[in-house]
A and B are shown apart, each in its own frame.
Chain A
Amino acid sequence: DADVTQTPRNRITKTGKRIMLECSQTKGHDRMYWYRQDPGLGLRLIYYSFDVKDINKGEISDGYSVSRQAQAKFSLSLESAIPNQTALYFCATSDSRGGEQFFGPGTRLTVL
């Protein structure tokens, strides 16, 4: 089984809709991250969490919110989706030393 899973893998939605992307991990890592990737812009950090009670904004948090339901679960919400949020979204985890990050398979989100 994959160590970091994301659901859904693909999603098409309409402008103004609320959508949630979910991430689960079995690696036992404390730290979890949400990134979006756009062509030519690389990976940009949206939010990160170092434990269940710790949530931090990243580089591009506007329009997004997160919830860390448990050590193993970290969800990303778009309260009112807009077309420029169309992107590939990745969840990642790392241990408490801040070593390498392990990525989930990604969610391709299209907002029409």
Chain B
Amino acid sequence: QKEVEQNSGPLSVPEGAIASLNCTYSDRVSQSFFWYRQYSGKSPELIMSIYSNGDKEDGRFTAQLNKASQYVSLLIRDSQPSDSATYLCAVNNRGNQFYFGTGTSLTVIP
């Protein structure tokens, strides 16, 4: 079983819609959760971090964490073509190692 799993997609949404990205993790004691965005050929850049159960909002982005279900998600409201990228979920396992999912490819259609 992989430490972090994501649907690889591709996920396509029309401009202005809500994009929903999902991630599950295997280690119950994981403490820190991150969403990175990666454009093709570029390095990952952090867009959201979340550490406690519930929702965390930052502009058009909302991260949701449910530790009981070992599930973390990212919602992108009012999706724009510039949001088209691969989104990586990452989990920090007890502060020692990061584990990344394989990423979900998102395409926002104008």
- A residues apposed to B, CB below 8 Å: 33, 35, 40-43, 45, 48, 58, 88, 90, 94, 97-106, 108
Contacts and interface: CB of A to CB of B under 8 A. Distances in A.
Contacts of A102: 46
Interface residues of B, number: 21
A58 B100 CA distance: 13
Contact of A97 (B44, B95, B97, B98): B95
Given A40-B8, A42-B88, A43-B88, A101 B42 contact: no
Contacts of A58: 97
A94 B90 CA distance: 13
B96 A98 contact: yes
A90 B34 contact: no
B69 interface: no
Interface of B: 8, 32, 34, 41-46, 49, 88, 90, 92, 95-98, 100-103
Given A43-B100, A94-B98, A99-B49, 11 more contacts: A42-B100, A43-B44, A90-B44, A97-B95, A98-B92, A98-B95, A99-B32, A99-B92, A100-B46, A106-B42, A108-B41
Contacts of A43: 44, 88, 100
A14 B43 CA distance: 25
Contacts of A101: 34, 46, 90, 98
Contacts of A33: 98
Given A97-B95, A98-B92, A99-B32, A42 B102 contact: yes
